[in-house]
C-alpha cells in the first residue's frame, strides 16, 4: 500500500471520526430524540454511510461498479470534498441562522374527538395506498411472474401501474396515525396496536419489491415521528448541560437499537432474495458477500463522484435542468418530447453512452444523490450551494414543526425535514421530488381542510 492509498484511507477514517463526533455531541445534548429534532443527526448518519463507509469498503475489498480502479488524486480529492461538505453542514446547523429551533414552541394536545378524526383520516389515506400496493403485488405475481420480475426489474415496470407511486400513502397514513396516537392526551394502546398492524403489509411489500429505499424511508419516517412527538419541546429553551438516564431515555434507546437491527436484517434478506433465485456466477458472488453488496446497493452513490471527477472532460454541466425535470415530471413526455431528463439517465449515458434511449424497453439508469446531482449541474459551486440549501430548508421545516399546534401540519413539516436529511442524499432529485409531492400534498391538504372545519365546528379539528 503506497502513500496515497494510506492518505485516502486516513481521510475516510477522519471523516468517520468527524461523523461520530457530531453524532455523540448531538446525542449528549438532546438524548435519543436528537434523531428526530436535529436534522444534522440523520444527515450525518446517511452522509457518512454514502461517502465514508461504503467508499472504504469498496477501496479495501472491492470491486468498484464502473471501472477497476480510480487514480489516487481523484480518490484523495473526493474524500476531502466529503469531509469539507459534512463539516460545513455541521457548522451551518450550529449557527443561529440555521438552527432548527424557534424562540417559541407550541405543544398542544388533541382532544378525543380530534384524535378520532385524525385516526380516521390516517386509516383512509393508508387504505388508498394499500389499494395500489396490493394492485402492484397482484400484477407482479399474476401478470409478470415473480421470477421474471426479479430477473428484469426495470423491464417489468412497463407492465406495472404508474399510479403505484400512491402506495407511498401507506407510509403517510401510518405516520399520521402514530402522530395522532402520541398527540392524544391519553395514550390508547389499541390505537398503538393498530399502527403495528399497518406496518406489516408495507414491510412485505418492500421485501417483494427488493426495495431497500422503501424499507429505509418507512422505518426512518415512523421512528422520527415517534421520537419527535415524545420529545419535550421546551428542553432546548432551557439549554441543559446534558440529558440524564431516565426510563424514557432507556426505552427510546432500545427502540432505536431494535429498529436498526431490524433494518440490517431486512436489508440483507432483501439482497439475498434479489440474488438468490439464479445461479449465475455474477449472482453467486453477491450471495457470498451479502453485507458488502447490501451496503453498496443502498449507499453506493459516492462512486458517481469518483467517475465524474476522473472523467470531467466527458461531463456537460446541466445548469439546473435535472432539477427542473423533477418539477415537470407530472407532464407526460408524449406532450413534450423535448422535456429534460432527470440526472439518472444523463449519468448512465455519460458513463455508458447509449444505455438510456427514450421509449426503449428495458431502459436503466443510475441513482445520483445530493452531492453528485449538484456537481452535475453546477460543479463544485453546486456542491457548496447544495449544503447551504439543505441547512436552510431542513432548519425551516423543523422550526415550523415546533411552532405549529396542528398535529397534521407538524407531521408534514417533520416528514419534510426527514426526507431532506435522508432520501435526498441518495436519491435522484426527480424521484425524490415525486415521493415528496405524494407524501406532503395530502398532509397539508388534510390539515387545511381540518382547519376550515374548526371554524365551523369547534368539536372537530386541530388546535389553532
Evaluate whether 133 touches 204 at the Cβ level (below 8 Å): no
- Per-residue pLDDT tens over the stretch 393-402: 999 999 999 8
Residue 114 makes CB contacts below 8 A (sequence gap 6+) with 407, 460, 461, 462, 463
Q: What per-residue confidence (pLDDT) applies to 242? A: 47
Evaluate whether 298 touches 206 at the Cβ level (below 8 Å): no
User: What is the Cα–Cα distance from 267 to 206, expressed in whole angstroms?
Assistant: 10
Q: What per-residue confidence (pLDDT) applies to 152? A: 66
- Per-residue pLDDT tens over the stretch 149-178: 776 666 677 788 888 888 989 999 999 998
Residue 233 makes CB contacts below 8 A (sequence gap 6+) with 105, 107, 402
- Per-residue pLDDT tens over the stretch 232-273: 654 444 344 444 555 555 565 666 666 666 665 665 565 555
* Residue in the structure block whose three cell numbers are 401507506: 170
Q: What per-residue confidence (pLDDT) applies to 287? A: 58
Number of other residues whose CB lies within 10 A of the CB of residue 352: 12
pTM of this prediction? 0.84
Q: What per-residue confidence (pLDDT) applies to 278? A: 53
Complete DSSP assignment for 166-230: GGGHHHHHHHHHHHHHHHBSS--HHHHHHHHHHHHHHHHHHHHHT-HHHHHHHHHHHHHHHHHHT
Calculate mean pLDDT across residues 53-73.
92
Calculate mean pLDDT across residues 219-238.
72
Evaluate whether 272 touches 290 at the Cβ level (below 8 Å): yes
- Of residues 265, 290, 262, the one with CA closest to residue 276: 290
Calculate mean pLDDT across residues 11-23.
97
Residue 461 has pLDDT above 80, yes or no: no
In the chain, how long is the greatest CA-to-CA distance?
A: 74
Q: How buried is residue 354: exposed, middle or buried, by Cβ count under 10 Å (0-12/13-18/19+)?
A: exposed
What residue ranges do the domains of the chain occupy? 3-103
Q: What per-residue confidence (pLDDT) applies to 432? A: 92
Residue 38 has pLDDT above 50, yes or no: yes
Q: What per-residue confidence (pLDDT) applies to 453? A: 40
Evaluate whether 271 touches 294 at the Cβ level (below 8 Å): yes
Let me know the angle formed at the C-alpha of 156 by 152 and 160, rounded to the nearest 5 degrees.
155
User: What is the Cα–Cα distance from 247 to 250, expressed in whole angstroms?
Assistant: 5
Confidence of residue 456 (pLDDT cuts 50, 70, 90): very low
User: What is the Cα–Cα distance from 31 to 243, expressed in whole angstroms?
Assistant: 6
State whether residue 315 is helix, strand or coil: coil
Amino acid at each position: 500500500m503506497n502513500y496515497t492509498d494510506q492518505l485516502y484511507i486516513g481521510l475516510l477514517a477522519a471523516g468517520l471520526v468527524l461523523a461520530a463526533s457530531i453524532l455523540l455531541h448531538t446525542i449528549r445534548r438532546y438524548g435519543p430524540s436528537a434523531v428526530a429534532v436535529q436534522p444534522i443527526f440523520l444527515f450525518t448518519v446517511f452522509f457518512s454511510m454514502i461517502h465514508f463507509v461504503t467508499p472504504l469498503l469498496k477501496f479495501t475489498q472491492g470491486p468498484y461498479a464502473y471501472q477497476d480502479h480510480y487514480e489516487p488524486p481523484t480518490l484523495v480529492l473526493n474524500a476531502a470534498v466529503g469531509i469539507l461538505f459534512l463539516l460545513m453542514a455541521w457548522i451551518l446547523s450550529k449557527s443561529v441562522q440555521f438552527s432548527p429551533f424557534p424562540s417559541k414552541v407550541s405543544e398542544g394536545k388533541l382532544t378525543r374527538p380530534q384524535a378520532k378524526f385524525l385516526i380516521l383520516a390516517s386509516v383512509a389515506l393508508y387504505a388508498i395506498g394499500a389499494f395500489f400496493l396490493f394492485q402492484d403485488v397482484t400484477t407482479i405475481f399474476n401478470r409478470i411472474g415473480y421470477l421474471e420480475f426479479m430477473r428484469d426489474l426495470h423491464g417489468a415496470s412497463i407492465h406495472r401501474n404508474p399510479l403505484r407511486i400512491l402506495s407511498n400513502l401507506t407510509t403517510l397514513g401510518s405516520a399520521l396515525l402514530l402522530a395522532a396516537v402520541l398527540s392524544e392526551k391519553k395514550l390508547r394502546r389499541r390505537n398503538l396496536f393498530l399502527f403495528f398492524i399497518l406496518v406489516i403489509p408495507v414491510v412485505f411489500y418492500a421485501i417483494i419489491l427488493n426495495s431497500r429505499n422503501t424499507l429505509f424511508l418507512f422505518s426512518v419516517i415512523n421512528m422520527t415521528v415517534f421520537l419527535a412527538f415524545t420529545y419535550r419541546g421546551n428542553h432546548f429553551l432551557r439549554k441543559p448541560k446534558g440529558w440524564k438516564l431516565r426510563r424514557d431515555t432507556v426505552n427510546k434507546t432500545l427502540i432505536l437499537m431494535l429498529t436498526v437491527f431490524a433494518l440490517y436484517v431486512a436489508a440483507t434478506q432483501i439482497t439475498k432474495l434479489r440474488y438468490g433465485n439464479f445461479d449465475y456466477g455474477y449472482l453467486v458472488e453477491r450471495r457470498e458477500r451479502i453485507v458488502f453488496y447490501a451496503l453498496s446497493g443502498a449507499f453506493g452513490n459516492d462512486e458517481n463522484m469518483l467517475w465524474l471527477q476522473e472523467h470531467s472532460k466527458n461531463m456537460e454541466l446541466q445548469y439546473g435542468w435535472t432539477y427542473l425535470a423533477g418539477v415537470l415530471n407530472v407532464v407526460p413526455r408524449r406532450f413534450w418530447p423535448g422535456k429534460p431528463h432527470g440526472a439518472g439517465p444523463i449519468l448512465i449515458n455519460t458513463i455508458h453512452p447509449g444505455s438510456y434511449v427514450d421509449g426503449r424497453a428495458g431502459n436503466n439508469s443510475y441513482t445520483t444523490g445530493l452531492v453528485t446531482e449538484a456537481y452535475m449541474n453546477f460543479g463544485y459551486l453546486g456542491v457548496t450551494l447544495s449544503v447551504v440549501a439543505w441547512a436552510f430548508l431542513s432548519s425551516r421545516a423543523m422550526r415550523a414543526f415546533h411552532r405549529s399546534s396542528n398535529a397534521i401540519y407538524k407531521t408534514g413539516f417533520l416528514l419534510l425535514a426527514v426526507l431532506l436529511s435522508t432520501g435526498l442524499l441518495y436519491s435522484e432529485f426527480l424521484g425524490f421530488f415525486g415521493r415528496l409531492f405524494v407524501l406532503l400534498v395530502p398532509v397539508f391538504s388534510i390539515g387545511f381542510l381540518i382547519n376550515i372545519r374548526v371554524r365551523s365546528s369547534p368539536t372537530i379539528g386541530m388546535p389553532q
